[in-house]
A and B are shown apart, each in its own frame.
Chain A
Amino acid sequence: MIEQENQSSDLFGDLTIDPMAKQYLRSMAGWAMVIVVVSVIGYIFSIIDLFREKRPASFSRAEGFDMGFTQSSSGAEVFTSLFSITIGLLINYFLYRFARQAKAGVDGLSQSQLNSSFGNLKAYFMACSIILIIAFVLLLLGAMVLGTRTAMQ
């Protein structure tokens, strides 16, 4: 009899998304959306900042003459910034999908949307980890190159 009860309990899954879990998921979705919105606003300002005319460079006035030169972003700087923004947008896209689907899944009692949201959470953490590892390796390589150059001089 007890065995039968255990079996039926396993069949229907012991873990549920109870009211507390729902509250946590709603809260997670809300904060995730805040992060996405704030990040996107930050990216927009970064792009504007990248292409706007900056203050005249100090060297142009060093001798007392303002030659009218303006300090503009170099090609490499623009490329690096746009590349970072693209990666940031990709990561935030997973977070946005998690937030939207988790909220919809919990509010609409949709199991498939909830499962999909967990998949997006996984993708978010995975993308963050992979990008962090790549950045870490590049930083180490850069440090090694700098160290070798310094040692050779």
Chain B
Amino acid sequence: MMEDKQSFLDLQVDEQASTQLTEASRWAKFLGIVVLIALGITVLMFGMLWNKLDELFSPYGEMDVESIRQTKIGLVFFLVIIVVVCGIMMSFLVRGANSIRAGIRRKDQALFNIGLGQFRNYLAMMGVLSVLLLLFSLIGFFVR
């Protein structure tokens, strides 16, 4: 009796919630895939322009070979970090979207919860990154 009352009072994934969550996960998956494609294109373009980077740096004063090499290594390091971080974030988003949609379709509570967990991971990672970015921009703001 107590359990019945509890389940009746509990929040449900009703028709409206199902529709909204399915749409949300569809857009989330789309966003994740678009970002992953954009990252892939960026890496490809970087690879294609690798040999032309020396010409790009030449207008900015006289740079010796060692400085150009160090700048290129720095750029690669920066790009790898961005690709890895964004890749992990987008994988959370895509996997979460898939799990939520499958969970709703199959009415699988465990899968649905896994999807919510992946979305939580995405938001948590984004939160940490935004705090770090704010700290860096504040340092830049007060140093200038």
Interface residues of A (CB under 8 A from B): 12-18, 20-22, 24-25, 27-28, 31-32, 34-35, 38-39, 41-42, 45-46, 48-49, 54-55, 105-106, 109, 111, 114-115, 118-119, 121-122, 125-126, 128-129, 132-133, 136
**How many A-B residue contacts, CB cutoff 8 Å?**
126
B34 at the interface (CB under 8 A from A): yes
B123 at the interface (CB under 8 A from A): yes
- B111 smallest CB distance to A (angstroms): 10
Question: Which listed residue (B7, B12, B117, B137) contacts A111, Cβ 8 A?
Answer: B12
Interface residues of B (CB under 8 A from A): 7-14, 16-18, 20-21, 23-24, 27-28, 30-31, 34-35, 38, 103-104, 107, 109, 112-113, 116-117, 119-120, 123-124, 126-127, 130-131, 133-134, 137-138, 141, 144
- Complex Cα gap A25–B23 (Å): 17
Q: In the complex, are the beta carbons of A54 and B144 less than 8 A apart? A: yes
Question: Please, which residue of chain A has its CB at the minimum distance from the CB of B22?
Answer: A122
Instruction: Give 7 CB contacts A-B under 8 Å.
Output: A17-B13, A24-B117, A28-B116, A28-B119, A35-B126, A38-B127, A45-B138
Question: Please, which residue of chain B has its CB at the minimum distance from the CB of A110?
Answer: B11
Q: In the complex, are the beta carbons of A35 and B30 less than 8 A apart? A: no
Question: Which listed residue (A48, A49, A136) contacts B38, Cβ 8 A?
Answer: A136
Question: Which listed residue (A17, A34, A115) contacts B127, Cβ 8 A?
Answer: A34
Question: Which listed residue (A39, A55, A136) contacts B130, Cβ 8 A?
Answer: A39
Q: In the complex, are the beta carbons of B34 and A115 less than 8 A apart? A: no
Interface of B is mostly: helix
- Complex Cα gap A118–B26 (Å): 13
- A24 smallest CB distance to B (angstroms): 4
Q: In the complex, are the beta carbons of B20 and A118 less than 8 A apart? A: yes
Q: In the complex, are the beta carbons of B120 and A15 less than 8 A apart? A: no
- A85 smallest CB distance to B (angstroms): 13
**Which 8 pairs between the two chains have the least Cβ-Cβ distance?**
A118-B20, A125-B27, A15-B13, A17-B11, A122-B24, A14-B107, A24-B116, A31-B123
With A15-B18, A132-B35 given, name 20 new contacts (CB 8 A). A12-B7, A15-B109, A16-B13, A17-B11, A18-B109, A24-B117, A24-B120, A28-B123, A31-B120, A31-B124, A34-B127, A38-B127, A38-B134, A48-B141, A106-B11, A118-B24, A121-B24, A125-B31, A129-B30, A129-B34
Query: For residue B131, which residues in chain A have a CB less than 8 angstroms away from its CB?
Result: 34, 38
Q: In the complex, are the beta carbons of B14 and A115 less than 8 A apart? A: yes
Question: Please, which residue of chain A has its CB at the minimum distance from the CB of B107?
Answer: A14
Question: Please, which residue of chain B has its CB at the minimum distance from the CB of A13?
Answer: B12
Query: For residue B120, which residues in chain A have a CB less than 8 angstroms away from its CB?
Result: 24, 27-28, 31
Q: If A21-B112, A115-B20 touch, does A31 touch B12 (CB 8 Å cutoff)?
A: no
Question: Please, which residue of chain B has its CB at the minimum distance from the CB of A126?
Answer: B27
